[in-house]
Amino acid sequence: MARERQIILDTETTGLYSDRGDRILEFAGIEMRKRRLTERTLHLYIHPDRDIPEEAAAVHGITLDTLAEKNAPKFAAVGQEIADFLRGAELIIHNARFDVGFLDMEFERMGLPTIEELGCEVTDTLAMAREKYPGQKASLDALCGRLDIDRSKRVYHGALIDCELLAEVYLAMTREQFDLVGGSDDNNGDTPAQNTRTAAPLVRTGRLKVIKADATELAAHAAILDEINQATGGHCLWQPQAREHAE
């Protein structure tokens, strides 16, 4: 069972390798409690204290000029804030190994606890998607398309927009399992959950109540059949004469 407090998390970086000098450029985390988003969000642009390769900037659109305009701090100035925000939560991450690797690297540079040491549980939606949709594409874009989630605002891979999309993807992929244990998203808290468990059981008598059509309904039905019969040149199979001809 998921923890009560969850953080949908994403990062953007200077490259792919946390152990080869790449750094975090952007961090975003949005809080969710009991499968409902709260108003608590942490979104930070971070100066990497190094260059940003063009191929990386082409993906996320972040350059050193962008960070200068935003007066972005270095990770050392915001690392503690990020660690405190994440502490003890379940982290929902798409391709968690990547983001956790970068966060652990940045935390260790500061002498801060790692994700595991912060008491976080990690849920990887990429692994979930590969299990749920074997043999199919499992990228965030592909999942949005499969689950009918609007991704039109995703021009670049931005940490905040990706978190917002991932929250919808995660809720959609896990809705069935929560419905099965009585935790449906449709319960907005106005009705106590126990009401759904203590309601009077449905009694089945084995008899079906038959409601016959009245004269007006029968006449309307006959008129529709006449129209179909005319449109098909007398071949409406619901008309007795057409049915006899077909047989």
* Catalytic residue set: 157
Specify binding-site residues.
10, 12, 55, 60, 162
Specify binding-site residues for substrate.
10, 12, 55, 60, 162
CA–CA separation, 27 and 23 (whole Å): 11
CA–CA separation, 115 and 99 (whole Å): 10
Specify binding-site residues for a divalent metal cation.
10, 12, 162
Centre a 10 Å sphere on the Cβ of residue 3 and count the other Cβ atoms it contains.
15
Long-range Cβ pairs for the range 106-111 (8 Å, 24+): 106/23, 106/24, 106/75, 106/79, 107/79, 107/83, 109/75, 109/76, 110/75, 110/76, 110/79, 110/80
Report the candidate in 24, 1, 2, 27 with the shortest Cα–Cα distance to residue 13: 24
